[in-house]
Amino acid sequence: MDHRPIGVFDSGLGGLTAVRELEKQMPQESIIYFGDTGRVPYGSRSREIITRYARQDVAFLRSFDLKAVVIACGTVSTTAIDVLRSEQDIPVFGVVEPSARRAAELTRNGKIGLIATRASISTGAYERAIHALNPGAEIFPIACPLFVPLVENGRTQPGDVVIETVVKDYLAPLKAAGVDVLVLGCTHYPLLREVIGAFMGQSVALVDSGAEVAHAVGRWLSDHDAVAENGHSGLHRWCVSDSQQGFRELASRFLGRPVTEPVELVDIEQY
Ligand code: DGL
Protein backbone atom coordinates (compact mmCIF):
# COMPACT_ATOMS: atom_id res chain seq x y z
CA MET A 1 0.00 0.00 0.00
CA ASP A 2 1.27 3.47 -0.87
CA HIS A 3 -0.64 6.64 -0.02
CA ARG A 4 1.67 9.04 -1.79
CA PRO A 5 0.07 10.97 -4.65
CA ILE A 6 0.52 10.41 -8.36
CA GLY A 7 1.89 13.42 -10.26
CA VAL A 8 0.23 14.03 -13.63
CA PHE A 9 1.13 16.69 -16.17
CA ASP A 10 0.28 17.99 -19.61
CA SER A 11 0.91 21.11 -21.64
CA GLY A 12 -2.60 22.23 -20.74
CA LEU A 13 -5.91 20.59 -20.04
CA GLY A 14 -5.71 17.49 -22.25
CA GLY A 15 -4.11 15.46 -19.47
CA LEU A 16 -7.35 15.73 -17.55
CA THR A 17 -8.71 13.01 -19.85
CA ALA A 18 -6.22 10.70 -18.10
CA VAL A 19 -7.17 12.06 -14.66
CA ARG A 20 -10.83 11.46 -15.43
CA GLU A 21 -10.08 7.80 -16.03
CA LEU A 22 -7.78 7.55 -12.99
CA GLU A 23 -10.59 8.97 -10.83
CA LYS A 24 -13.07 6.53 -12.27
CA GLN A 25 -10.84 3.50 -11.79
CA MET A 26 -9.06 4.48 -8.58
CA PRO A 27 -11.03 7.10 -6.63
CA GLN A 28 -8.86 6.43 -3.59
CA GLU A 29 -5.69 7.75 -5.28
CA SER A 30 -4.44 11.29 -4.60
CA ILE A 31 -3.40 13.26 -7.66
CA ILE A 32 -1.33 16.38 -8.18
CA TYR A 33 -2.01 17.78 -11.65
CA PHE A 34 0.14 20.34 -13.40
CA GLY A 35 -1.17 21.93 -16.61
CA ASP A 36 1.34 24.21 -18.29
CA THR A 37 -1.43 26.49 -19.48
CA GLY A 38 0.93 29.44 -19.83
CA ARG A 39 3.03 27.66 -22.47
CA VAL A 40 0.49 25.45 -24.27
CA PRO A 41 0.69 24.23 -27.03
CA TYR A 42 3.85 22.11 -26.96
CA GLY A 43 3.00 20.23 -30.15
CA SER A 44 4.35 22.82 -32.55
CA ARG A 45 7.65 23.31 -30.69
CA SER A 46 11.12 21.82 -31.16
CA ARG A 47 12.40 18.74 -29.34
CA GLU A 48 14.79 20.93 -27.28
CA ILE A 49 12.05 23.23 -26.02
CA ILE A 50 9.62 20.38 -25.32
CA THR A 51 12.33 18.56 -23.34
CA ARG A 52 13.19 21.70 -21.35
CA TYR A 53 9.54 22.36 -20.52
CA ALA A 54 8.92 18.71 -19.60
CA ARG A 55 11.93 18.67 -17.26
CA GLN A 56 10.60 21.77 -15.50
CA ASP A 57 7.12 20.22 -15.23
CA VAL A 58 8.56 17.09 -13.65
CA ALA A 59 10.87 19.10 -11.36
CA PHE A 60 7.82 20.98 -10.07
CA LEU A 61 5.87 17.76 -9.50
CA ARG A 62 8.86 16.21 -7.73
CA SER A 63 8.72 18.99 -5.15
CA PHE A 64 6.02 16.68 -3.75
CA ASP A 65 6.70 13.18 -2.46
CA LEU A 66 5.19 11.13 -5.32
CA LYS A 67 4.91 7.44 -6.06
CA ALA A 68 4.76 7.86 -9.86
CA VAL A 69 4.73 10.46 -12.61
CA VAL A 70 2.25 10.29 -15.49
CA ILE A 71 3.08 12.15 -18.70
CA ALA A 72 -0.52 12.72 -19.77
CA CYS A 73 0.65 14.35 -22.97
CA GLY A 74 1.31 12.68 -26.31
CA THR A 75 3.83 15.31 -27.31
CA VAL A 76 6.04 14.87 -24.24
CA SER A 77 5.59 11.08 -24.24
CA THR A 78 6.82 10.82 -27.84
CA THR A 79 9.61 13.36 -27.47
CA ALA A 80 11.13 13.28 -24.01
CA ILE A 81 10.13 10.14 -22.10
CA ASP A 82 13.58 8.52 -22.31
CA VAL A 83 15.29 11.59 -20.89
CA LEU A 84 12.71 11.93 -18.11
CA ARG A 85 12.89 8.23 -17.21
CA SER A 86 16.68 8.31 -17.08
CA GLU A 87 16.55 11.23 -14.62
CA GLN A 88 13.84 9.97 -12.27
CA ASP A 89 13.98 7.32 -9.56
CA ILE A 90 10.23 6.66 -9.58
CA PRO A 91 8.17 5.14 -12.43
CA VAL A 92 7.36 7.51 -15.29
CA PHE A 93 4.38 6.50 -17.44
CA GLY A 94 3.69 7.81 -20.93
CA VAL A 95 0.75 7.43 -23.29
CA VAL A 96 2.54 5.79 -26.24
CA GLU A 97 3.10 2.20 -25.09
CA PRO A 98 -0.38 1.65 -23.59
CA SER A 99 -2.09 3.14 -26.66
CA ALA A 100 0.06 1.08 -29.04
CA ARG A 101 -0.78 -2.08 -27.10
CA ARG A 102 -4.49 -1.36 -27.32
CA ALA A 103 -4.34 -0.52 -31.04
CA ALA A 104 -2.42 -3.71 -31.81
CA GLU A 105 -5.02 -5.73 -29.86
CA LEU A 106 -8.01 -4.10 -31.52
CA THR A 107 -7.09 -4.10 -35.21
CA ARG A 108 -8.55 -6.84 -37.39
CA ASN A 109 -7.35 -5.69 -40.81
CA GLY A 110 -3.93 -4.39 -39.64
CA LYS A 111 -4.68 -0.82 -40.79
CA ILE A 112 -4.22 1.65 -37.96
CA GLY A 113 -4.79 5.39 -38.20
CA LEU A 114 -2.81 7.67 -35.93
CA ILE A 115 -3.56 11.31 -35.20
CA ALA A 116 -1.43 13.48 -32.93
CA THR A 117 0.40 16.78 -32.81
CA ARG A 118 3.04 17.68 -35.37
CA ALA A 119 5.86 17.07 -32.86
CA SER A 120 4.49 13.62 -31.92
CA ILE A 121 4.07 12.48 -35.51
CA SER A 122 7.57 13.63 -36.46
CA THR A 123 9.19 11.38 -33.82
CA GLY A 124 7.71 8.15 -35.24
CA ALA A 125 7.37 6.91 -31.63
CA TYR A 126 3.83 5.54 -31.98
CA GLU A 127 4.74 3.67 -35.18
CA ARG A 128 7.78 2.07 -33.50
CA ALA A 129 5.71 1.00 -30.51
CA ILE A 130 2.93 -0.49 -32.68
CA HIS A 131 5.39 -2.25 -34.98
CA ALA A 132 7.17 -3.77 -31.98
CA LEU A 133 3.88 -5.54 -31.19
CA ASN A 134 2.56 -6.07 -34.71
CA PRO A 135 5.34 -5.79 -37.30
CA GLY A 136 2.92 -6.21 -40.20
CA ALA A 137 0.60 -3.37 -39.22
CA GLU A 138 0.13 -0.59 -41.75
CA ILE A 139 0.09 2.75 -39.96
CA PHE A 140 -1.39 5.95 -41.35
CA PRO A 141 -0.12 8.96 -39.35
CA ILE A 142 -1.63 12.43 -39.65
CA ALA A 143 -0.68 15.57 -37.72
CA CYS A 144 -3.71 17.63 -36.68
CA PRO A 145 -2.32 20.95 -35.40
CA LEU A 146 -5.68 22.74 -35.35
CA PHE A 147 -7.32 20.29 -32.94
CA VAL A 148 -5.63 21.49 -29.71
CA PRO A 149 -6.55 25.19 -30.06
CA LEU A 150 -10.09 24.24 -31.09
CA VAL A 151 -10.49 21.92 -28.09
CA GLU A 152 -9.01 24.50 -25.69
CA ASN A 153 -11.56 26.98 -27.07
CA GLY A 154 -14.45 24.62 -26.46
CA ARG A 155 -15.17 23.82 -30.14
CA THR A 156 -15.83 20.13 -29.55
CA GLN A 157 -19.55 19.55 -30.00
CA PRO A 158 -21.28 17.72 -32.85
CA GLY A 159 -23.05 20.30 -34.99
CA ASP A 160 -20.22 22.83 -34.61
CA VAL A 161 -19.47 23.54 -38.24
CA VAL A 162 -15.88 24.62 -37.54
CA ILE A 163 -14.77 21.40 -35.82
CA GLU A 164 -16.77 19.21 -38.19
CA THR A 165 -15.08 20.81 -41.19
CA VAL A 166 -11.60 20.45 -39.70
CA VAL A 167 -12.23 16.81 -38.68
CA LYS A 168 -13.40 15.97 -42.18
CA ASP A 169 -10.42 17.69 -43.76
CA TYR A 170 -7.84 15.91 -41.56
CA LEU A 171 -9.45 12.47 -41.39
CA ALA A 172 -10.76 11.90 -44.92
CA PRO A 173 -7.51 10.13 -45.99
CA LEU A 174 -7.80 7.72 -43.04
CA LYS A 175 -11.37 6.90 -43.92
CA ALA A 176 -10.34 6.32 -47.53
CA ALA A 177 -7.49 4.05 -46.40
CA GLY A 178 -9.98 1.82 -44.54
CA VAL A 179 -8.38 1.91 -41.09
CA ASP A 180 -10.30 -0.07 -38.48
CA VAL A 181 -8.56 1.51 -35.48
CA LEU A 182 -7.77 5.17 -34.90
CA VAL A 183 -5.34 6.16 -32.15
CA LEU A 184 -6.21 9.51 -30.59
CA GLY A 185 -2.53 10.12 -29.87
CA CYS A 186 -2.94 13.48 -28.16
CA THR A 187 -4.73 13.68 -24.83
CA HIS A 188 -6.83 16.61 -26.02
CA TYR A 189 -8.46 14.55 -28.74
CA PRO A 190 -10.78 12.36 -26.63
CA LEU A 191 -12.93 15.49 -26.32
CA LEU A 192 -13.52 15.17 -30.05
CA ARG A 193 -14.55 11.53 -29.73
CA GLU A 194 -18.16 12.15 -30.74
CA VAL A 195 -17.34 14.23 -33.82
CA ILE A 196 -14.49 11.93 -34.88
CA GLY A 197 -16.56 8.79 -34.20
CA ALA A 198 -19.47 10.13 -36.26
CA PHE A 199 -17.18 10.92 -39.18
CA MET A 200 -15.16 7.67 -39.13
CA GLY A 201 -18.19 5.43 -38.54
CA GLN A 202 -18.99 2.75 -35.97
CA SER A 203 -16.70 0.12 -37.47
CA VAL A 204 -13.61 2.15 -36.51
CA ALA A 205 -12.44 1.64 -32.90
CA LEU A 206 -11.04 4.76 -31.22
CA VAL A 207 -8.10 4.42 -28.81
CA ASP A 208 -8.13 7.09 -26.10
CA SER A 209 -4.50 7.75 -25.10
CA GLY A 210 -5.46 9.38 -21.79
CA ALA A 211 -7.62 6.45 -20.72
CA GLU A 212 -4.99 3.91 -21.81
CA VAL A 213 -2.22 5.43 -19.70
CA ALA A 214 -4.61 5.46 -16.73
CA HIS A 215 -5.24 1.73 -17.20
CA ALA A 216 -1.48 1.10 -17.38
CA VAL A 217 -0.94 3.01 -14.12
CA GLY A 218 -3.73 1.03 -12.44
CA ARG A 219 -2.19 -2.30 -13.50
CA TRP A 220 1.26 -1.24 -12.32
CA LEU A 221 0.01 -0.05 -8.92
CA SER A 222 -1.82 -3.28 -8.22
CA ASP A 223 1.06 -5.46 -9.47
CA HIS A 224 3.45 -3.58 -7.17
CA ASP A 225 1.22 -3.43 -4.12
CA ALA A 226 1.29 0.36 -4.42
CA VAL A 227 -2.42 1.26 -4.47
CA ALA A 228 -3.78 3.64 -1.84
CA GLU A 229 -6.10 2.12 0.74
CA ASN A 230 -9.61 1.48 -0.50
CA GLY A 231 -12.46 3.35 1.10
CA HIS A 232 -10.45 6.60 1.35
CA SER A 233 -11.16 9.36 -1.06
CA GLY A 234 -8.03 10.69 -2.79
CA LEU A 235 -7.06 14.36 -2.49
CA HIS A 236 -6.60 16.41 -5.63
CA ARG A 237 -4.41 19.42 -6.20
CA TRP A 238 -4.67 21.44 -9.40
CA CYS A 239 -1.73 23.55 -10.48
CA VAL A 240 -1.39 25.72 -13.59
CA SER A 241 1.07 28.24 -15.01
CA ASP A 242 -1.61 30.72 -16.18
CA SER A 243 -5.19 31.82 -15.44
CA GLN A 244 -6.66 29.79 -12.59
CA GLN A 245 -10.14 30.94 -13.55
CA GLY A 246 -9.66 29.84 -17.17
CA PHE A 247 -8.63 26.40 -15.95
CA ARG A 248 -11.61 26.10 -13.64
CA GLU A 249 -14.03 27.02 -16.41
CA LEU A 250 -12.69 24.59 -19.02
CA ALA A 251 -11.44 21.75 -16.84
CA SER A 252 -14.89 20.45 -15.97
CA ARG A 253 -15.46 19.58 -19.62
CA PHE A 254 -12.34 17.41 -19.70
CA LEU A 255 -12.91 15.96 -16.27
CA GLY A 256 -16.62 15.32 -16.54
CA ARG A 257 -17.27 17.00 -13.17
CA PRO A 258 -16.91 20.49 -11.69
CA VAL A 259 -13.54 21.46 -10.24
CA THR A 260 -14.37 22.30 -6.64
CA GLU A 261 -10.85 22.17 -5.22
CA PRO A 262 -8.59 25.27 -5.23
CA VAL A 263 -6.48 25.91 -8.34
CA GLU A 264 -2.90 27.04 -7.62
CA LEU A 265 -0.69 29.23 -9.78
CA VAL A 266 2.90 28.03 -10.30
CA ASP A 267 5.87 30.02 -11.60
CA ILE A 268 7.18 27.14 -13.70
CA GLU A 269 10.25 29.03 -14.92
CA GLN A 270 11.63 28.71 -11.36
CA TYR A 271 12.04 24.96 -11.78
N1 DGL B 1 -2.20 17.09 -24.76
C2 DGL B 1 -1.02 17.36 -25.55
C3 DGL B 1 -0.64 16.10 -26.32
O4 DGL B 1 -1.13 15.05 -25.91
C5 DGL B 1 -1.33 18.60 -26.26
C6 DGL B 1 -0.47 19.04 -27.27
C7 DGL B 1 0.06 20.42 -27.27
O8 DGL B 1 0.33 21.01 -26.26
O9 DGL B 1 0.27 20.83 -28.41
O10 DGL B 1 0.12 16.07 -27.25
pLDDT digits (tens, 9 = 90+) for 187-218: 999 999 999 999 999 999 999 999 999 999 99
pLDDT at 233: 75
Cα distances (Å, whole numbers) of residue 217 to 165, 220, 223, 224: 35, 5, 10, 11
User: Active site includes 239?
Assistant: no
> For a substitution probing ligand 1, which of 77, 188, 240, 242 has the most ligand atoms within 8 Å of its CB?
188
Q: Whose CA is nearest to atom 6 of ligand 1?
A: 43
pLDDT digits (tens, 9 = 90+) for 111-144: 999 999 999 999 999 999 999 999 999 999 999 9
Strand partners, 112: 139, 181
Give me ligand 1 centre to Cα 74, in Å. Answer: 6
pLDDT reading at 77 higher than 80: yes
Percentage above 90 pLDDT, the chain = 92
Asked if 120 contacts 126 with a C-beta cutoff of 8 angstroms, the reply is yes
pLDDT at 216: 97
Q: Mean pLDDT in the chain?
A: 95
Give me ligand 1 centre to Cα 201, in Å. Answer: 25
The amino acid occupying position 84 is L
Task: Please state the pTM of the whole predicted model.
Answer: 0.95
Mean pLDDT of 1-23: 95
Q: Whose CA is nearest to atom 2 of ligand 1?
A: 73
Give me ligand 1 centre to Cα 1, in Å. Answer: 32
Mean pLDDT of 246-253: 90
pLDDT reading at 48 higher than 90: yes
Please, which pLDDT band fits residue 179 given cuts at 50, 70 and 90? very high
The one catalytic residue among 16, 19, 73, 192: 73
The one catalytic residue among 171, 186, 200, 228: 186
pLDDT at 221: 96
pLDDT reading at 232 higher than 90: no
User: Active site includes 186?
Assistant: yes
pLDDT reading at 263 higher than 80: yes
**Which atom of ligand 1 is found nearest the CA of 41?**
8
pLDDT reading at 156 higher than 90: yes
pLDDT at 154: 87
Residues 6+ apart with CB under 8 A from 39: 11, 53, 241, 268
What DSSP string runs through the chain? ---PPEEEEESSSTTHHHHHHHHHH-TT--EEEEE-TTT---TTS-HHHHHHHHHHHHHHHTTS--SEEEE--HHHHHHHHHHHHHH-SS-EE-SHHHHHHHHHHH-SSSEEEEEE-HHHHHHTHHHHHHHHH-TT-EEEEEE-TTHHHHHHTT--STT-HHHHHHHHHHHHHHHHHT-SEEEE-STTGGGGHHHHHHHH-TTSEEEEHHHHHHHHHHHHHHHTT-PPPTTSPPPEEEEESS-HHHHHHHHHHHHTS---S-EEE--GGG-
pLDDT at 86: 98
Other beta carbons less than 10 A from residue 128's beta carbon: 13
Please, which pLDDT band fits residue 229 given cuts at 50, 70 and 90? confident
pLDDT at 238: 97
Q: Tell whether the torsion through CA atoms of 83, 85, 89 and 90 is positive or negative.
A: positive
**Which atom of ligand 1 is found nearest the CA of 11?**
8
Residues having CB closer than 6 A to ligand 1 are 10-12, 14, 40-43, 73-75, 117, 120, 148, 186-188
Give me ligand 1 centre to Cα 202, in Å. Answer: 26
**Which atom of ligand 1 is found nearest the CA of 185?**
4
Tell me the C-alpha distance between 67 and 97, whole Å.
Answer: 20
pLDDT at 223: 96
Cα distances (Å, whole numbers) of residue 76 to 55, 223, 245: 10, 26, 25
3-state helix/strand/coil string of 201-251: CCCCEEEEHHHHHHHHHHHHHHHCCCCCCCCCCCCEEEEECCCHHHHHHHH
pLDDT reading at 235 higher than 90: no
pLDDT reading at 4 higher than 80: yes
Give me ligand 1 centre to Cα 43, in Å. Answer: 6
Other beta carbons less than 10 A from residue 164's beta carbon: 16
